[in-house]
Structure 1
């Protein structure tokens, strides 16, 4: 797969995809800002933490699923290890839901960073479109910053 793949123009994804990606950032931003601004004894604090952890785990699972789709679409012999690695984001997200704060947000930050690095490196090897790798770097930085802010807000 190369940078000239269908569904993108130049170095950016098609407009509908870009809008969806940016819309997906909104819940992170709103929940982290709310969490950082409310007192530790606020009645909605636990619910906010739960919503943020759950949303982050779902996004992480989505990213693992996207990589699963890429791997099975190429059906490259010997890809069993890569195929198994696509389950790691799902497992990391699930584990983050089971552990307490702030450790859960640290785990999510590391998992987002690892998935983003994998996607970016894959784009530079032409396994994914180049625009995808560039956007994954930006979105990974955003997600990691949000998880670090949540970590600090719950520490």
Structure 2
């Protein structure tokens, strides 16, 4: 391996490590809010605020994930297409709609949306539009977030 290739591999490893750290750090609010939600009763004074925080954060994260796909869609030479740009607008709209759905259905919708987004992101990896490490990261986060949403579904049912 030449020096340029070695630097590229090292840089990609640092990028993956940073992305994994930030993504897991970004999962912390979901984890904390869902655990708190499961530990309080339906009449707790902080329940409505907890629900609003959790739902709004989930909608924001779906918008962020849609933005990643917008960015990938703009890299036309790497396999992105105008259709990808259009499809990247769907996650924020679904998140917005899920925000207004009643409990517990809001969390079922969020679970389905995060699962669909994770699958779509892995299609980008398989099409070589996104790096392989992104696929591994998205699988991990999809499992964590979808499981959390199902736990929130149960806690609000």
TM-score by length of structure 2 reads: 0.88
Residue aligning to 2:74: 72
Determine which structure has more spread, i.e. the larger CA radius of gyration. 2
Residue aligning to 1:61: 63
SS of 1:123 mapped into structure 2: helix
**Structure 1 runs of 4+ with >4 Å offset:** 4-7, 75-78
Residue aligning to 2:112: 110
Where relative contact order (Cα < 8 A, 6+ residues apart) is larger, the structure is 1
- Is residue 2:12 matched to residue 1:8? yes
How many residue pairs are counted as aligned between the two chains? 150
- Could you list the runs of 5+ residues in structure 2 that have no partner in the other structure? 1-7
Asked if the contact 2:20–2:137 (Cα under 8 Å) also holds between the matched residues in 1, the reply is no
Asked if the contact 2:58–2:95 (Cα under 8 Å) also holds between the matched residues in 1, the reply is yes
Q: What's the Cα RMSD here?
A: 2.0
Deviates more, 1:18-27 or 1:75-84: 75-84
Residues 77 and 147 of structure 1, relative CA distance in 2, 3 Å threshold: closer
- Could you list the runs of 5+ residues in structure 1 that have no partner in the other structure? none
TM-score by length of structure 1 reads: 0.89
Asked if the contact 2:74–2:80 (Cα under 8 Å) also holds between the matched residues in 1, the reply is no
